[in-house]
Chain A
């Protein structure tokens, strides 16, 4: 089977979906998105927590909700999303490219004028960082743990140590705690955590999880099943200080030690990579191969899905402009670097209204707030000081699998664990749409309503 299109997008995560949507809006005739998974949305589908969409939609969405919006925007614009298509290679032809993909129907071919690579990233593994010790069952990367726990309904362990303080690791620390595991430690080799300050505050501090910096897992222990890890402090040069070694018994080790752009498909077309696997595009997001554009995490790992979408849009737009021989627009590299990362400043609250993450300080004497760049920060800090509220995200059983859900409106921070516990026996049957209420009941003094964040 062979098909023609104007723009072919590889990957239906936030970058690819936005690229496809924008390419259609820019007047491309036929735009096809090829996704290797059975479901569009990319890694957003397993990110059931909220905090997505603060820039793009001006409100906090969960990953599945953000994905749902991005998918329907692309479809409404007229892009065609084909799932369970695994692109094997890109051949350069006289007029554009020939893309081959495996599917259940055979090896499909797509002839296209321009390509947007939106293939995301993969996680750095234990093998990549060569942690010494044995090779028992129980060592997972954070993203795999997230997929297993949030989608496959599989619990990775009861006593967990996390190495690395990237955002996925921090999110998983909270997630595992809410599902009844004990997170014994988060170890970070740097002086500061690498995740966002808001995640340090809301995923780590609020659950009393110890976080150790300048610390690493120096040995993995356990012949068949993980029995313990050895934590050690690091000296100034980053070498292990053996005298500080201590053993922590655990049955799971979660690694959140970095992401690597995934560009094996791009490489088949001759796209050149940087030593860290990212793509060195021009300011139009075009790779060294004219007509092939790159965006999102496959171009360069980014912190927020919102920026991935924004960059995807530009890649989609420029792919069409390229095909039409029109002038392209530039990407502003600066704008994505504004978030507060690492430890929150002592005595402040990290505002989560927008990704800036202002560190807002309350002055008891004057009764005023400082450190916030806009009035919303003061309002947020006031709420946090008097009665902090949280949107609780978790899953419930649904037709033999899991359905991601959230509280319809924020609840008191004090009842977060109770909310999750109260959903233990919920078992949703039949058809569900995102936004449907799947549970209502009182938890402590709060009346709690849970809504689905994905269709079933």
Chain B
């Protein structure tokens, strides 16, 4: 391919997509390479969906600064890009005096970080905020919020696309070389050339960096298992509830988070492992998750569980050390033009816009950043039929009768919404692409009702062969073929 891009971004997770959108404000040519068939397939699609307020991270760290800054601008971005967002606040639950003492320290850290709206709660106050919670007291954070992480990535990528950014999916970077100061990036889709590389490859950022000789980084994958609860348990909790963080663990502790769609999720655990791609759950951890969740919220029952999954944190802190090491975001002296983003774990989503601006500023040291006159910050999301009023629903059905056909009965997703999801702009034709956009198959029946109907649409309306239908892109084929 002859074209030379100004910038190639590697990885279409939350941070890669946010950088793509930020750079699309300027007259730069930008390409995003993603190894999977869709956005948010790695760490970004497997997290809690919480906008952090900024009291968890060490004062003075990039994490703390960017988290507070990102948290402040998050709602505005969600408004521009039509991303579901709800400012719920958050509680930390204290079980003993030590926890209460630790909370005072956390409030101190929060204040030093510039995080507002933190206060201690006594037992009565915590019950008033969330009647079902256990504990003897706690802390309230006013500015914590929940959002839809899939829609976040999709929306950023779509908006970047609207503003001229190219995306190439199923394009795993296999090698990078340099030729006269131009990077040549090899993928199964061909070789792409650029003047700058932004490495936002998440769990694989150390490997990408090493392809250019910068091999000083090491990512320690740290798995977090989750349970997801049926919406019938929705009323048990409408605010994220966390334990008081214990030093030395790899995360924030097992917590309960209501999703934007009304399911409660339990998790994540924190287990170091070697494989960045092993998303297995285990019996021991799941049992532990459940009992820890029950301590936080005694009304939880096993019968509410409708699924389990896990995500993997790309940590820089090795197993012995635990905790958080600060983000590394910099242009490598030994490899000018390579901008590395290493160890972008929690609060990566919250910090994504400040991270993107930092990357922009690094680029700005080399190139003249000229704002596009026609940059459009607005992106319209897809219809969420189930959230509309009856009058609005009636209008839609009149416009297109496929809005009157419910395909996913648990989440009330219509045929037209499934069609819109199938015809997504990235060309992702997997079941999970439909799931992340339309939310079909995510309910209590796990696709028991809608999967066969969706498969039927893919075969009849989109001429797919059964063996071409995948769960999550190439290599995850669902079927062996036709019966006859």
Enumerate chain A interface residues (CB-CB to B < 8 A). 36, 84, 86, 88, 102-107, 122-123, 125-128, 130, 132-138, 141, 143-144, 147-149, 151-158, 179, 218-220, 223-225, 240, 251, 264, 275, 395-397, 402, 424
Closest 6 CB pairs of A and B: A127-B307, A137-B471, A104-B401, A224-B476, A125-B446, A86-B406
Report the Cα distance A102→B208, complex, angstroms. Answer: 50
- Asked if A103 and B404 make an inter-chain contact with CB atoms under 8 angstroms apart, the answer reads yes
Please pick, from B452, B470, B477, B482, the residue contacting A147 in the complex, using a CB distance under 8 A: B452
Q: Which of A104, A141, A149, A179 has the most CB of B within 10 A?
A: A104
User: A39 to nearest B CB, angstroms?
Assistant: 12
Report the Cα distance A240→B282, complex, angstroms. Answer: 13
- Asked if A127 and B446 make an inter-chain contact with CB atoms under 8 angstroms apart, the answer reads yes
A130 and B305 in contact, given A88-B412, A122-B445, A155-B481 (Cβ under 8 angstroms):
yes
B423 within 8 A of A: no
B325 within 8 A of A: no
A149 and B483 in contact, given A107-B397, A126-B446, A135-B279 (Cβ under 8 angstroms):
yes
- Asked if B483 and A127 make an inter-chain contact with CB atoms under 8 angstroms apart, the answer reads no
Please pick, from B282, B448, B459, the residue contacting A122 in the complex, using a CB distance under 8 A: B448
- Asked if A155 and B308 make an inter-chain contact with CB atoms under 8 angstroms apart, the answer reads no
Some 22 contacts from A to B, beta carbons below 8 A apart, are A86-B405, A104-B397, A105-B397, A105-B404, A127-B308, A127-B446, A130-B227, A132-B283, A133-B280, A134-B279, A135-B309, A136-B471, A143-B448, A152-B459, A156-B479, A157-B479, A179-B483, A220-B280, A223-B279, A224-B472, A225-B477, A424-B484
Enumerate chain B interface residues (CB-CB to A < 8 A). 227-228, 277-283, 286, 303, 305-309, 390, 393-394, 397-398, 401-402, 404-406, 409, 412, 414, 444-449, 451-452, 455-456, 459, 466, 470-473, 475-484
Report the Cα distance A36→B390, complex, angstroms. Answer: 19
Closest B residue by C-beta to A147: B452
Closest A residue by C-beta to B450: A144
Please pick, from A107, A155, A220, the residue contacting B480 in the complex, using a CB distance under 8 A: A155
- Asked if A223 and B480 make an inter-chain contact with CB atoms under 8 angstroms apart, the answer reads no
- Asked if B455 and A148 make an inter-chain contact with CB atoms under 8 angstroms apart, the answer reads yes
Residues of B within 8 A of A138 (CB): 478
A154 and B448 in contact, given A132-B286, A137-B470, A137-B471 (Cβ under 8 angstroms):
no
Residues of A within 8 A of B449 (CB): 122
User: A110 to nearest B CB, angstroms?
Assistant: 15
A153 and B482 in contact, given A127-B228, A134-B279 (Cβ under 8 angstroms):
yes
Q: B interface, by DSSP: helix, strand, loop or mixed?
A: mixed
Q: Which of A147, A397, A424 has the most CB of B within 10 A?
A: A147
Report the Cα distance A155→B483, complex, angstroms. Answer: 5
User: B62 to nearest A CB, angstroms?
Assistant: 33
- Asked if B306 and A127 make an inter-chain contact with CB atoms under 8 angstroms apart, the answer reads yes
- Asked if B455 and A154 make an inter-chain contact with CB atoms under 8 angstroms apart, the answer reads yes
Please pick, from B279, B307, B446, B476, the residue contacting A225 in the complex, using a CB distance under 8 A: B476
- Asked if A130 and B286 make an inter-chain contact with CB atoms under 8 angstroms apart, the answer reads yes
| Sample of 11 more A-B contacts, CB < 8 Å, known A133-B280, A134-B281, A135-B309 | A105-B404, A106-B404, A122-B449, A125-B307, A126-B446, A133-B281, A134-B280, A138-B478, A148-B455, A154-B466, A402-B483
Q: A interface, by DSSP: helix, strand, loop or mixed?
A: mixed
Residues of A within 8 A of B470 (CB): 137
A141 and B448 in contact, given A102-B404, A224-B472 (Cβ under 8 angstroms):
yes
User: B77 to nearest A CB, angstroms?
Assistant: 30
Residues of B within 8 A of A107 (CB): 390, 393-394, 397, 404
Please pick, from A102, A130, A149, A396, the residue contacting B397 in the complex, using a CB distance under 8 A: A102
- Asked if B479 and A155 make an inter-chain contact with CB atoms under 8 angstroms apart, the answer reads yes
User: A255 to nearest B CB, angstroms?
Assistant: 10
Report the Cα distance A130→B394, complex, angstroms. Answer: 39
- Asked if A86 and B409 make an inter-chain contact with CB atoms under 8 angstroms apart, the answer reads yes
Residues of A within 8 A of B483 (CB): 149, 153-155, 179, 395, 402
Residues of A within 8 A of B283 (CB): 130, 132, 218, 240
- Asked if B278 and A134 make an inter-chain contact with CB atoms under 8 angstroms apart, the answer reads yes
Residues of B within 8 A of A104 (CB): 397, 401-402, 404-405
Residues of A within 8 A of B280 (CB): 132-134, 219-220
Report the Cα distance A301→B124, complex, angstroms. Answer: 44
- Asked if B484 and A397 make an inter-chain contact with CB atoms under 8 angstroms apart, the answer reads yes
Report the Cα distance A430→B277, complex, angstroms. Answer: 50
User: A270 to nearest B CB, angstroms?
Assistant: 15
- Asked if A152 and B412 make an inter-chain contact with CB atoms under 8 angstroms apart, the answer reads no
- Asked if A144 and B451 make an inter-chain contact with CB atoms under 8 angstroms apart, the answer reads yes
Report the Cα distance A275→B302, complex, angstroms. Answer: 11
A144 and B448 in contact, given A36-B406, A133-B281 (Cβ under 8 angstroms):
yes
Closest A residue by C-beta to B478: A137
A158 and B480 in contact, given A134-B279, A147-B452 (Cβ under 8 angstroms):
yes
Report the Cα distance A225→B477, complex, angstroms. Answer: 7
User: B191 to nearest A CB, angstroms?
Assistant: 26
- Asked if B282 and A155 make an inter-chain contact with CB atoms under 8 angstroms apart, the answer reads no
- Asked if B452 and A402 make an inter-chain contact with CB atoms under 8 angstroms apart, the answer reads no
Residues of B within 8 A of A84 (CB): 405
Residues of A within 8 A of B405 (CB): 84, 86, 102, 104
Residues of B within 8 A of A396 (CB): 484
Residues of A within 8 A of B306 (CB): 125, 127-128
Q: Which of B447, B476, B484 has the most CB of A within 10 A?
A: B484
Closest B residue by C-beta to A179: B483
Report the Cα distance A149→B472, complex, angstroms. Answer: 21
Report the Cα distance A141→B479, complex, angstroms. Answer: 14
Closest B residue by C-beta to A175: B483
Residues of A within 8 A of B447 (CB): 144
- Asked if A102 and B406 make an inter-chain contact with CB atoms under 8 angstroms apart, the answer reads yes
Report the Cα distance A105→B448, complex, angstroms. Answer: 26
Report the Cα distance A105→B393, complex, angstroms. Answer: 12
- Asked if A137 and B472 make an inter-chain contact with CB atoms under 8 angstroms apart, the answer reads yes
Residues of A within 8 A of B456 (CB): 152
- Asked if B452 and A127 make an inter-chain contact with CB atoms under 8 angstroms apart, the answer reads no
Please pick, from B308, B401, B409, B459, the residue contacting A105 in the complex, using a CB distance under 8 A: B401
Report the Cα distance A113→B348, complex, angstroms. Answer: 56
Report the Cα distance A415→B445, complex, angstroms. Answer: 38
Residues of B within 8 A of A144 (CB): 447-448, 451-452
A132 and B445 in contact, given A152-B456, A396-B484 (Cβ under 8 angstroms):
no
Residues of A within 8 A of B390 (CB): 107
Closest A residue by C-beta to B431: A137
Closest B residue by C-beta to A137: B471
User: B230 to nearest A CB, angstroms?
Assistant: 9
Closest A residue by C-beta to B402: A104
User: A401 to nearest B CB, angstroms?
Assistant: 9
Closest B residue by C-beta to A275: B303
